[in-house]
Amino acid sequence: MLERILKKDHTKVTFVLPADTPPGPVSVVGDFNGWQPGVHTLKTRKDGKRAVTVELPSKGVHSFRYLAAGDYWFNDDTAGDQDGSNSRLHT
């Protein structure tokens, strides 16, 4: 799930996943972090879900995927758009 907070010159995007699906550590990787795993690792929130917030330029389009333990790559079905095998996010 994606949560967005629109600001004047950027958008705060929070990437949210359930507490244990998939199990183990998960990071969001995309064109906004050079596709580098571990840069934006999801952490457990008070509500039990895992999340990480990234500030992105407003009025942009970004491709991303999640990477879980065991080299398991997957998309975010709530992104609403695909870019080949990647999820696409419009800010």
Quick one: which of 91, 80, 71, 78 has its CA closest to 31? 91
User: pLDDT per residue over 31-86, tens digit each?
Assistant: 999 999 999 999 999 999 999 999 999 888 999 999 999 999 999 988 878 878 89
Q: 10: which 2 tokens?
A: 């950027």
pLDDT at residue 10 in the model: 93
Are 40 and 64 in contact, with CB atoms under 8 Å apart? no
- Residue 15: is its pLDDT beyond 90? yes
Give 75 or 8, the one with higher predicted confidence: 75
pLDDT at residue 3 in the model: 93
Output b/e per residue, 30-64; b: 16+ Cβ within 10 A: bebbeeeeeebebeeeeeeebbbebebeeeeebbb
> Considering the entire predicted model, what is its pTM?
0.91
Domains and CATH numbers, the chain: 2-90 (2.60.40.10)
